[in-house]
Structure 1
C-alpha cells in the first residue's frame, strides 16, 4: 500500500475550505439531498452495509449503534457528537473541524434524519476556542441556508443543532460522563446498563458518535457502501486519519485505508528523525499498550492490532526514538490519568495515584525491583474494575512497557536513576514525590 485516500482531507488546501461556499463548491451537501430522499431505515441499513466502525477508539459498528434505539420509546431521540478530543497523542478531530467543519454538520443532519432525531448536540472540548467559533459559524451558515431548522430542503424534516463547549475534563470523552456534563452535572461516568441508546441524554434514547464517524457518513451516502468497503480490510472497512507525532520527520495527519502499516506511514512521513531509530510507539494513543520495532509491519486495523496485543484506538501514533526513557514517558502519562480521574470509583482514583508514586521512585533511582511487581499488582486491581475505560486505559502503558522494557526499569534501580539523563536524576533525587498528598509519607 503506497497511496493515501484523501476523503475528509481532500480539500484542506483550499483557502475557503471551512466556509459554506467553499464546501458546496466541492460537492458539499449533495449527499444530504440524496439522504433526505431515502427512508430513515434505508439510511441505517446503508451505514450498516458500509461496515463503518466508530472512529473514537472503541470501533463499535456505527450503523448497529443507530439501530439499537428502541422503536417503542415515546421520548424524543437525541444525537450527540463527541468532539471532546483530549487523549494524549490524539489530534485528528481538531484539524478536521478547523479545515472542514461543514462535513461534520452535513453528517449530523444526515445521521439525525436516519435515527429520527430533531435535536443534535456537538460537545466540543472547551479549551479549543478557535474550533468552537469556527464550528458555530458553520452551523449558523447552514441554518441561514435552510440546511438546519424547519422543513430542511422541503423534506418536512426539522432539526436544531447546538454546539456545546465543555469545561475541559478528559473524563467527558467517556460518553456517559459527556451526557452528564451536557445536562449540567459534574462529568462522571454512569453505571451501565442502561446504555445511552435506551436512557441517555435526559433519560431518552441517544446516539453518541465521534466526530470522524459522523463526518464519514456524507461520503458513504454519496458514493455507496461498496465504495467504502473497497478500502480497508474485510472487518475494518474504510479509511481514517492516522495522526503521526513525535520523533518523525514530517508529523501530521495521514488519511489512509485501515490496514496500512506503520512502516508504510513512516515512509510517507520521511521516517524517524535522522540519526535515530524507532524504540517504541503507540498505535492508538497513550491508553493503548505500546508497540516496538517488531510491530512495524502489523496492519493497523482493529483485528490485527488486537491480535498483536494492543488496540487501534484513535490511531494516534506517537513515535519515540532511542533517546526516550520509557519509565519517564509512562510516568508522565500516568500523572495525566491520575490528574484527570474523576474520582468516582476507588480503583481508578487510588490506583493511578499510587502508580504515580511508584513510577516516580523508579525514575529517580529510589525504587526496587519489587516495585515492578507492585505496579503490576496495582494494574491487576485496576483493570476491569473501574466505572469506565479510563482505569483500563491507564494500565495499558504500564503493563506493556514492563513487558517490553523490563530491563530498562531495572537499570533505573541498579544505576540509581535514569540512565538517559544522569544530571536530571541527580538534581531531582531528593524532591518530594509527584502528586504527594499533604501529611502523607511515602509508602
Structure 2
C-alpha cells in the first residue's frame, strides 16, 4: 500500500507540476519517486516470460481448488441455484483495483465461449460496476473486463447454465500479455444490449458431452463439456477440419515449455495450457471414450512441418483398474501405422499407460523415465508424443517432428 500511495502521489504531483521543472522539488520527494520507479521496474521484469508463476498467478475469488494459471486455466465451480434465486456475479480480484480502471460487463447469449467477438456489452448492476445481479437462472457466458475495453488488463468469464436448478460457474482470469490484447477492429462489432434483456428468455440446455455436440458452425476454441457422470471440464474443440466436432485430448510442439515428465496423478487429471500444449487427463479421456464408439486422429507435423494424420477406428481407453489400456481399431491415413507396429518391442496398441512413478510397460526398466513423459509404452516405442523435444512417429520423423495433436470424435457409424 505504501508503494501504491507513492505512485498515486507521484501521479498527482506530475499533474500539478505540468510545465514546471521537476528538479525544483524537494530532495525527499525525488528520492521516494526514484525508489518507487525502481520497484515498478522490478515488478515489470517479473511480468516477462520466465517468471510466470511469480507474476501471473492469482487466485480467482470464485476458485477454491487451485490457482488460476495464465492464461486460461481455471477450475469450474458447481453451484446449486433455485429457479427463482437471485445470483450476483462478482468481478473482484485478489488485489487492489486502481481507481482509474474501467469495468465493463459483456454477455454471449446461450453460448459457452471466450471469444469476445461474440459478446455484447451490458449495463452494470445497481450494486456497482464490480457486481452483476441476475434475476433467475440464465444460460450464457458473462465477461468482466477490467482496465481498458480495447486492451484489458484482466478478463473474468462466468459461464452460467441452470438446467433443473443447477448453476455452473466458471471463472477465468486473464492477464494481458503480448498476443493476448484486443484490438479496435475486433471490438467494433460490439453493440449495446437492450436494457430490458430478459434472463428468462435464454434457452435452458445442458453442456455437451463432447465437442461433437457443440452447435454446428461454432468456431474452434475453448469450450466446457460434461461427459456422462463427470463434472464439467475445459477442452479445446477443433471445429474447422474434417467436418469438425473433434475433442482435442493432446497437443504438443517441439519447442514446448512443458517438460511432460509428470506423475501418474498429474497425467490422470491433466496439465498444460488448453490453448497451446496440454494433456487433457487420462481419466477424462477414458470417461469420454466410454460414452459412445469413438475414433481417434493422430496429427503429426513432420520435420518439414507438413501435417500428416493417422486415424484409428474404433478408439477407447480402459479405466484406471486396467491401467488405462489403449484400444485401437483399423488404421487409415497419410502417416504410417506406427501405433500398431509389428515389432512387439515398439507396439502401443493394447498397452497400458506408464509414467515415471508407475511402470506398466513390458521393458525391464521404466520406459517413461528412460524415454520421456507418460505414454502407452511397450519396450519402449515407435511413437513418442508426450515429450519435450524428440517427438517421434515411426520412421516419418524420428525425434524431429515439429508437433502433434490427438483428436477424438464419435465414429461415423454407431
Question: Normalization by structure 2: what TM-score?
Answer: 0.24
Question: Normalization by structure 1: what TM-score?
Answer: 0.23
Q: Which has the higher helix share?
A: 1
Q: Which has the higher strand share?
A: 2
Higher RCO (C-alpha 8 Å, min separation 6): 1
Q: Which has the larger radius of gyration?
A: 2
